[in-house]
Amino acid sequence: MYEYRANLFAWVLYNISMEKMRKSDAEWRAQLTEAEYGVTRHKGTEPPHSGALLNEKREGTFLCVCCGNPLFSSETKYESGTGWPSFYDVIDSDRVRLESDHKLIMPRTEVLCAKCDAHLGHVFSDGPRPTGQRYCMNSVALKFKPTKPRVEDPLL
Ligand SMILES: [Zn+2]
């Protein structure tokens, strides 16, 4: 019985943490910068080599810029040469939602935040081992939380 309750508790906590975040278009526009808003809420793509997180090499976690959902670990970040931050895996597959994208002639798989539906980027199957996946992300759709804050960083 105790175990059942503990599991139920964990399940409830998990569902609270993954509860959908819904905001109006005006609320998103007020919260985000123009670039963040265009990419995440209107499926835009930032120019390659423009992102602030492209060369981020510190240890830490990449969160959804809209809702703070932890999406990628620095451990799975790699240099893909595409000009966009690339990862070979998600922290947990439940953190993102995948959808078919037919905007270009070649169909692609769109990656969205499972919590707030932000457009993050696309996933391709030409990534490195062990997954073979390449999560090609827009830098402006993410924010970085370092594991060890630098001395000069304000408290997070
Ligand atoms: Zn989100």
Per-residue pLDDT tens digits for 31-70 = 999 999 999 999 999 999 999 999 999 999 999 999 999 9
| pLDDT at residue number 59 | 96
Q: Kindly indicate the confidence band of residue 156, based on its pLDDT and cuts at 50, 70 and 90.
A: low
Domain ranges of the chain: 2-146
Contact 57, 47 (CB under 8 A): no
pLDDT at 132 over 60: yes
Query: How many whole angstroms separate alpha carbon 62 and alpha carbon 72?
Result: 5
The pTM of the full predicted model, rounded to 2 decimals, is 0.85
pLDDT at 138: 98
Cα(73) to centroid of ligand 1, in Å?
16
Contact 39, 138 (CB under 8 A): yes
Q: What is the pLDDT of residues 62-85, one digit of tens each?
A: 999 999 999 999 999 999 999 999
64 flagged as catalytic: no
Task: Say whether pLDDT at 2 is over 70.
Answer: no
Q: Which residues of 73-100 are buried (b: 16+ CB within 10 A; e: fewer)?
A: bbebbeebeeebbbbbbbbeeebbeeee
Task: Single out the catalytic residue among 66, 113, 116, 136.
Answer: 136
Q: How many helices (H) and strands (E) does the chain have?
A: 3, 9
Token digits for 10?
């964990």
Which residues have beta carbons under 5 A from ligand 1 (an ion)? 64, 66-67, 69, 113, 115-116, 118
Domain 2-146 is in which class?
mainly beta
